[in-house]
A and B are shown apart, each in its own frame.
Chain A
C-alpha cells in the first residue's frame, strides 16, 4: 500500500525542514518568548509580593496607630484622674485651712471679747469704786455730822468687814 510506505523524498525534506525550523525557532522565538514569559511571571510575583508586604505594613501601621491612640487615651485618663485627685486635695486643704482660719479668728474674737470684757469689767469696777468712794464720801460727810451716827456706821462697817 502506498499510503503506509514512507517516502524517502518526503522524509529527506521533512528532516531538513523540521531540523532548520527547530533550530531557528529555538534561537529566535522560543528562547526569547520563554525568557520573557518567565521575566514577566517573576515581575508579577514580585509585584504581588510587594503589594502583600505593603498591605502588611499598612496593617502594622494601623495596629501601631491603635496602640498609640490607646496609650494616649490611657494617659489622658491618668491625667484626668490625677487632676481630679489634685482638685479634691486642694479643695480639702482649702476647706481645712478655711476651717482653721475660722477657728483661729473665732478664737481671736473670743480672746478679744474676753479682753474687752475684762477691760470693761475693770473699768466698771473702777467707776463703781470711784462712785462708791464718792457716795461714801457724801454719806460719810452727812453721817459724820452726827457723832452717834458716826459710831454706828463705824460699828456697822466693822461688822460688815468681819462678816466678809
Chain B
C-alpha cells in the first residue's frame, strides 16, 4: 500500500516537473529574439505548445528560465545537393546548438519558420530565402531517445541472458524476474497460439525485440525527465519502420498457401475473372495490415501525450483568460486529470506493445499457415 502510494506520488511529482518549461515557453515567446511577431504576454498558445511537445526537435530541451534555455545539443547531419550555398561541401555535420534554439542560421542552413517545412532544417540561398530541404539524417530527439532505449535494452537483456545461462537450474533473481515472465508471456501467449508450436521459434527474437522496444519507448515517453520523455512511439517514422519490419518478415516468410490465398482465393470464379476483384482486395489487405499497425501505435501514443499536455495547458488557458488566480484554481483539477491520463497511458503502453506484437505474430502465423 505504501509502495503504491509512493509510486503515485512519484508520478505526480514528475508530472509537475515535466511541465516546468511551460512557464519558460511563455516567457520565451514574449522576450525572444523574434518578439516582433510574438503574442502578448498574457496570451498562451496552447496549440503551438502541444504540437511542440509531441513533435521531434533538433535539440533536447531540458528546462528554460526566462530567456535562458538549457538543452542538450544533438548532432545535425545534412547532405546538400547545392554545395555552393554551404561553403562548397556536400556533407555537413555539426551540433544543433549552432542554431541557437532555432533563432540563427548556420552555414546556409536554418530551422524553417515558414509554414511549409516548419521545424525542419531548410537551405537558404544567397539572399537568405528558404529554397528547399537538404537530405536530413540528423540525430533528432527521437533518434537520441531510441539510442538510449537501445542501450538500456542491450544492457538489460544481455546481462539477463548471461545470468540465465550461468544459473539455468537456479531460481531467477533480480532483473531476471522482470524479464523472464514477459519473455514467457510473449512466447506462450503471443507467439505459440498465433504461429503454431512448430514454427514460432523462428520469429521469437523479432517478436521479443519488437515487444520490449515498443514497451520501453512507450514507458520512457511517459517519464518526462531527460534522458526520457521523447515521444518516440508517437512518431510516425518510427512506427513506420516497425510496421515495415513486420511487413517484410511476413512477405518473406509467406508460403505457397499464403500467396495462393492472395492471388487465387477460394471464392466463386466470377470474383476473380474477368476483373480480379478478390485478388485486388487481398493485395490491398497485405498493404493495409502493416499500415494499420503503423497508425494504431502512432495515434495511440500521440493522443496520450497530447491529452496529458492539453490538461496541463488548461491551467495556462484559464490563467490567460481569467487571470492568474483562475489558473491556480484550475491547476488541481488539471493535474488530477493529467495524472489519471498518465496512469491510463501506462496501461495503454502495455496494451499497444502487446497489440503490435500480437498482430505481427498473427500475420506471421497467416503467412506460414498450412492448408487446412
Q: Which residues of A contact B (CB under 8 A)?
A: 2-15, 17-18, 21-22, 24-26, 28-34, 36-37, 39-40, 43
Q: Does B190 contact A (CB under 8 A)?
A: no
Q: Does B208 contact A (CB under 8 A)?
A: yes
| Binary per-residue interface labels of chain B (178-219) against chain A in the complex, 1 for a CB within 8 Å, 0 otherwise | 011001100100000000000001001110110001000000
From known contacts A9-B136, A26-B209, infer whether A2 and B143 are also in contact, taking CB-CB under 8 Å: no
- Say yes or no: B242 contacts A25, CB within 8 Å: no
9 interchain pairs, CB-CB under 8 A: A4-B236, A7-B237, A17-B146, A18-B213, A24-B158, A26-B205, A30-B209, A33-B180, A43-B168
**Partner pick for A37 among B118, B119, B183, CB 8 A cutoff:** B183
**Complex-state Cα separation, A29 to B240, whole angstroms:** 25
Q: Does B72 contact A (CB under 8 A)?
A: no
- Say yes or no: A6 contacts B158, CB within 8 Å: no
| Binary per-residue interface labels of chain B (257-270) against chain A in the complex, 1 for a CB within 8 Å, 0 otherwise | 00000000000000
- Say yes or no: B55 contacts A3, CB within 8 Å: yes
**Partner pick for A8 among B55, B135, B183, CB 8 A cutoff:** B135
Q: Which residues of B contact A (CB under 8 A)?
A: 51, 54-56, 77, 118-120, 135-140, 142-143, 146-147, 150, 153-154, 157-158, 160-162, 164-165, 168-169, 179-180, 183-184, 187, 201, 204-206, 208-209, 213, 235-238, 240-242, 244-245, 298, 302
- Say yes or no: B237 contacts A31, CB within 8 Å: no
- Say yes or no: A30 contacts B157, CB within 8 Å: yes
Q: Which of A11, A15, A33 has the most CB of B within 10 A?
A: A33
**Complex-state Cα separation, A52 to B154, whole angstroms:** 41
Complex contacts, A11 vs chain B, CB 8 Å: 237, 240-241
- Say yes or no: B136 contacts A22, CB within 8 Å: no
Complex contacts, B238 vs chain A, CB 8 Å: 10, 14
**Complex-state Cα separation, A56 to B56, whole angstroms:** 66
- Say yes or no: A33 contacts B153, CB within 8 Å: no
**Partner pick for B164 among A8, A21, A24, A32, CB 8 A cutoff:** A32
- Chain A proximity of B154: nearest CB distance (Å): 6
Q: 6 more A-B contacts (CB under 8 A) besides A9-B77, A14-B238, A14-B241?
A: A4-B236, A18-B213, A25-B154, A25-B157, A32-B164, A37-B187
- Say yes or no: B158 contacts A21, CB within 8 Å: no
- Chain B proximity of A86: nearest CB distance (Å): 65
- Say yes or no: A8 contacts B136, CB within 8 Å: yes
**Complex-state Cα separation, A21 to B302, whole angstroms:** 24
- Say yes or no: A2 contacts B119, CB within 8 Å: yes
**Partner pick for A25 among B135, B209, B237, B244, CB 8 A cutoff:** B209
**3 shortest A-B CB distances, which residue pairs?**
A29-B157, A10-B237, A26-B205
Complex contacts, A33 vs chain B, CB 8 Å: 157, 160-161, 164, 179-180, 183
**Complex-state Cα separation, A2 to B112, whole angstroms:** 12
- Chain A proximity of B176: nearest CB distance (Å): 9
Complex contacts, B206 vs chain A, CB 8 Å: 22, 26
In the complex, what residue of chain B is closest to A11 when comparing beta carbons? B237
In the complex, what residue of chain B is closest to A29 when comparing beta carbons? B157
- Say yes or no: B161 contacts A9, CB within 8 Å: no
- Say yes or no: B205 contacts A36, CB within 8 Å: no
- Say yes or no: A39 contacts B137, CB within 8 Å: no
**Partner pick for A30 among B139, B150, B205, CB 8 A cutoff:** B205
- Say yes or no: A3 contacts B236, CB within 8 Å: yes
- Say yes or no: B168 contacts A40, CB within 8 Å: yes
In the complex, what residue of chain B is closest to A30 when comparing beta carbons? B205
- Chain A proximity of B203: nearest CB distance (Å): 11
- Chain B proximity of A78: nearest CB distance (Å): 54
- Say yes or no: B237 contacts A18, CB within 8 Å: no
From known contacts A22-B206, A30-B208, infer whether A6 and B180 are also in contact, taking CB-CB under 8 Å: no
Complex contacts, B56 vs chain A, CB 8 Å: 7, 10
Complex contacts, B244 vs chain A, CB 8 Å: 15
**Partner pick for A43 among B154, B169, B184, CB 8 A cutoff:** B169
